[in-house]
Amino acid sequence: MPANASNNSELPGIERDEPAPSMRAAILGSLAAAVLALLLFSWLAEEVFEGGAMRFDDAVRAWIHQFASPSLTGAMVVISALGSQVLAVAVIIAFVIFLRLRWRRAAIWLLLTVAAGLVLELTLKYAFHRPRPTPFFGAVPHTYSFPSGHSLMSFCIYGVLAGLLSHRLRSAAVRIMVWIPAAVLVAAIGVSRIYLGVHYPSDVIAGYLAAAVWVSALLAADRVRKRKRRSAG
């Protein structure tokens, strides 16, 4: 065995090899997650536009709004920005870092995620045309409400960033420490949109589900590609 073979997973652009059974399980798991998220999104969309979700939306909005305070509102404005302006900056920084580290495939994944996420967000918003709720704080955004773009894009991008980084880490504990902040951040961004009153809770959940469909489908496609490449090799 070459002297550097054990360190391949730590080199820029080199991915950890996965056993064939693990890869098959990952493909099936990703496809199952995509199908489940799609079914849940379809059910939620039907509930929203038949009026069945309104009681839930109003109850959650009222419950969250009872905790409102000037300091909490300021914090929620900052957290909300992490799903829009700061998110765009994070993408640019990550893209430059990936290129400098010669993680070309990771950079392509990131660009594909951003482009597809934006197309998915705009397509769904204009397909469903749900009006915004009356905000608790700030002005009414100009775009439609369903699904939440902040939730969708933060799930896609922070999730993919966490996945790209964790895939290049050997320690399971460190990989977990990458995923936990990403998950907390995505959840906090969704809560901030409900707190500020610019989205219904069902909008936020729909954003997560739509993103889960896309990310899971991408993961499945990537695993299939790697399996074919390994078989061809």
Flag whether 138 is in a domain: yes
Q: Is the pLDDT of residue 135 over 80?
A: yes
| Structural domain count of the chain | 1
Please tell me the predicted confidence (pLDDT) of residue 167.
Answer: 73
Q: What's the one-letter identity of residue 75? A: A
Q: What is the mean pLDDT of the chain?
A: 85
Tell me: pLDDT of 184 over 70. Answer: yes
Instruction: Give the pLDDT confidence of 74-111 residue by residue, as tens digits.
Output: 999 999 999 988 888 989 999 999 899 888 888 888 89
Residue 24, in any domain of the structure: no
pTM across the whole model: 0.84
pLDDT at 19: 52
CA angle 93, 147, 211 (to 5 degrees): 50
**Within-domain flag for 122:** yes
Mean pLDDT of 146-151: 95
Distance CA 183, CA 179 (A): 6
Distance of alpha carbon 229 from alpha carbon 233, whole angstroms: 6
In a domain, 162, yes or no: yes
The answer to whether residues 162 and 178 touch, using CB atoms and an 8 Å cutoff, is yes
Residue whose pair of structure tokens reads 């749900």 in the numeric block: 130
Give me the pLDDT at residue 13, please.
39
Is 155 part of a structural domain of the chain? yes
| pLDDT score for 15 | 47
Per the structure, the complete domain to which residue 185 belongs is given by: 63-212
Q: Is the distance from CB of 168 to CB of 10 less than 8 angstroms?
A: yes
Q: What is the mean pLDDT of residues 6-30?
A: 56
Residue 152 lies in a domain: yes
Share of the chain above pLDDT 90, in %: 53
Per-residue model confidence (pLDDT) at position 202 = 97
pLDDT band at 162 (very low <50, low <70, confident <90, very high): confident
pLDDT of residue 6: 41
Residue 121 lies in a domain: yes
Residue 223, in any domain of the structure: no
